[in-house]
Amino acid sequence: MATPSIAPLDLGALHRLKLTEPPVWLAPTAELSDAAREASRQLFSFLKSHTPKSPLDQLLVEGFDAEQIWQQIDLLSQPLLYGLKREVKKFEKNPDEIGKIRKVLEGERKDFEREKEINELEQYLEEDEAREYGLKKDVINDKKKVRRKLGVFGEGDEDDGDMDQLGTARKLQSEIEKMEKANMDQKAWTMQGEVTAAQRPKNSALEVDLDFQHNVRPAPVITEEFTTSLEEMIKKRILEGQFDDAQKIFTLPSKAPRELNELDENKSKKGLAEVYEEEFVQKTNPAAAPLLFSDEQKKEASMLFKKLCLKLDALSHFHFTPKPVIEDMSIQMNVPALAMEEIAPIAVSDAAMLAPEEVFSSKGDVKEETELTQADRKRRRANKKRKFKAKAAERSAKRAQDNTSLNHNDVQELYYTKMIGRIEELPKNYGNQARKKVRVTLITSYRFRIVEKFW
């Protein structure tokens, strides 16, 4: 596996930041800011080779403020931290991988030592050859350059890559050893979860540094302009003689004071059913609830106010003006005192919930055939006869009315109209002879019906 090429790290800016005294940081300067930006850019370029998924190739510092630069560094650090956590979890799940890596590192170390011995042997042979033929160091260096150009030492780049890989492997091995040692060593009591006082040293909880946030406004940045303005304000107040302090602003309470519930230390003499009954009565009828301590105070205050009003009325010769009467609209609900709960859907009306006997009221009790007495049977028979006679009389009256309303001419005209309509309804393929036969038939039937009706 080929390792990515690592850019050379310029440590000049980092050394300048390291050698800067702490008091100098209180007054930021352009030189210190440039050194910090350059150091951040160098570190970003160095770590970019270990994070191939970084969206930025280099850190952009020209024309950017501190917040924007920090966001760019955060884009690089997040994938790097995720990769390191993933590798650590992999080693925790498979401890055998650590042994394999150790074997690989030992093999690489042996290869490195073997290559080092070969290089030392080649260097010794070259020096021996130079001593034998009397060559100078410049000539030997020229030979090396020519050999590199001719490709004799073409494996130099691979050696450099192997060296870089070896350095990375050594760092990884040292980190693995530190992690193994940290896991094997006994952890501090702060990292062991719930610890009792017997399991930790005495007064050790006071030595733990706790991190907490202060909900205060940040301190202003001390700059030369801010210091100058503060000095001018102090001088102006001294000249004007204004030595008064700022008055504290008192805010009025916006909420009513919270009522404190009275706690009765005596044992309750009421049963649980009585307690539930009182709670139910208070919910359904708040007027019947017992008076609280605050209600008693209000009642006492109202009595004192009435006494005061009486004295004031006496001082004003009892010219009392009563308040105008305000008529309150009272709503009276005509509901039963005891309302029973019914299991029925809300959308169903009251009319749909009536029984059949409530919808159609019967004239009397419904009796079966066997339950009828002789008087009931006679009454039912007489009722049927009465209805039958009424219908027969109505039918005869209607028939007489029809006979008297139509005379012979009206019947003849009506029948001729029906006859013409029937002839017109005949199919078109009927000839004149066929139509005459139909007319004669209709007239004949008409005559017989007239004779039958009137005679």
Q: In this predicted model, what pLDDT tens digit does every residue of 78-91 receive, in sequence order?
A: 777 877 888 778 77
Last residue of a domain, one of 93, 122, 144: 93
Token pair 């062991």: residue: 192
pLDDT band, very low/low/confident/very high, at 455 (cuts 50, 70, 90): very low
Q: What pLDDT does 153 receive?
A: 42
Residue 363 lies in a domain: no
Output phi, psi for 269, to 5 deg.
-95, 5
Q: Is 56:75 a contact under the CB 8 Å cutoff?
A: yes
378 band by pLDDT with thresholds 50, 70 and 90: very high
pLDDT for the residue 253: 73
Q: What is the structure's pLDDT at 194? A: 83
Mean pLDDT of the chain: 72
H or E element: which one contains 217?
Answer: none
Residue 113 near residue 184 (C-beta atoms within 8 A): no
Number of structural domains (the chain) is 3
DSSP state of 244: P
Say if residues 318 and 283 touch (Cβ distance below 8 Å).
no
16 shares its domain with 56: yes
Using CA atoms, how far apart are residues 289 and 279, in angstroms rounded to an integer?
9
- 86 and 150 part of one domain: no
Which of the listed ranges 199-208, 286-295, 324-333 does the model predict with the highest average pLDDT? 199-208
pLDDT of residue 196: 86
Is 142 strand, coil or helix? helix
Residue 81, token pair as written in the block: 């931290």
Domain boundary among 44, 64, 93: 93
**How many separate helices (H) and strands (E) can be counted in the chain?**
14, 0
Say which residues have a Cβ less than 8 Å from residue 163's Cβ, sequence separation at least 6.
112
Q: Which of these, 52, 38, 51, lies nearest to 9 by C-alpha position? A: 38
On whether residue 220 sits in a domain, the answer given is no
Q: Band of the pLDDT at 144, cuts 50, 70, 90?
A: low
- Looking at per-residue confidence, does 168 or 336 come out higher? 168
Determine the Cα–Cα distance for residues 344 and 41; give it in Å rounded to an integer: 77
Whether 52 and 118 map to the same domain: the answer is no
Residue 136 has pLDDT above 80, yes or no: no
pLDDT, position 387: 92
Mean pLDDT of 218-240: 88
Q: 371: which DSSP letter?
A: G
CA–CA separation, 431 and 117 (whole Å): 139
Mean pLDDT over residues 156-185, rounded?
73
115 and 89 share one domain: no
Asked if the model's pLDDT at residue 119 lies above 70, the reply is: yes
Q: Are 48 and 76 in contact (CB under 8 A)?
A: yes
Residue 181: inside a domain, yes or no?
Answer: yes
Residues with Cβ < 8 Å from 2, sequence gap 6 or more?
161
Same-domain status, 71 and 116? no
Is 346 among the domain residues? Answer: no
The reply to whether 321 falls in a domain is no
One domain for residues 46 and 105: no
In a domain, 292, yes or no: no
Terminal Cα distance for the chain, rounded: 132
Are 336 and 327 spatial neighbours (Cβ–Cβ below 8 Å)? no
Residues 85 and 5 in one domain: yes
For residues 153 and 145, give the distance between their C-alpha atoms in angstroms, rounded to a whole number.
Answer: 9
Question: Please, which pLDDT band fits residue 342 given cuts at 50, 70 and 90?
Answer: low
Domain boundary among 123, 152, 185: 185
Q: Give yes or no: residues 35 and 107 share one domain.
A: no
Q: What is the pLDDT of residue 386?
A: 92
Between residues 307 and 164, which one has the greater pLDDT? 307
- Identify the pLDDT of residue 60: 78
Other Cβ atoms within 10 Å of 36 Cβ, number: 20
Same domain, 33 and 106: no
What's residue 250's pLDDT?
Answer: 78
Residue 51 has pLDDT above 50, yes or no: yes
Q: Point out the least confidently predicted range of 76-85, 262-271, 310-319, 409-418.
A: 409-418
Return the half-sphere exposure (C-beta side, CA atoms, 13 A cut-off) of residue 203: 0
In a domain, 112, yes or no: yes
One domain, residues 9 and 54: yes
Read off the DSSP letter of residue 153. T
Which contacts (CB < 8 Å, 24+ apart) does range 147-152 have? Answer: none
Structural domain including 166 reads 95-185
Q: How confident is the model at residue 390 (pLDDT cuts 50, 70, 90)?
A: very high
* 288 within a domain of the structure (yes/no): no
Residues 75 and 154 in one domain: no
70 shares a domain with 112: no
CB 53 within 8 A of CB 75: no
Confidence of residue 45 (pLDDT cuts 50, 70, 90): confident
- Distance, in Å, from the CA atom of 32 to the CA atom of 25, rounded to the nearest integer, reads 8
Q: Which residue has the tokens 């909900």?
A: 215
pLDDT at 68: 80
Q: In 211-292, which ranges are continuous DSSP H helix?
A: 224-240, 272-284
pLDDT reported for residue 454: 37
State the average pLDDT over residues 319-337: 64
The Cα–Cα gap between 193 and 179 comes to: 20
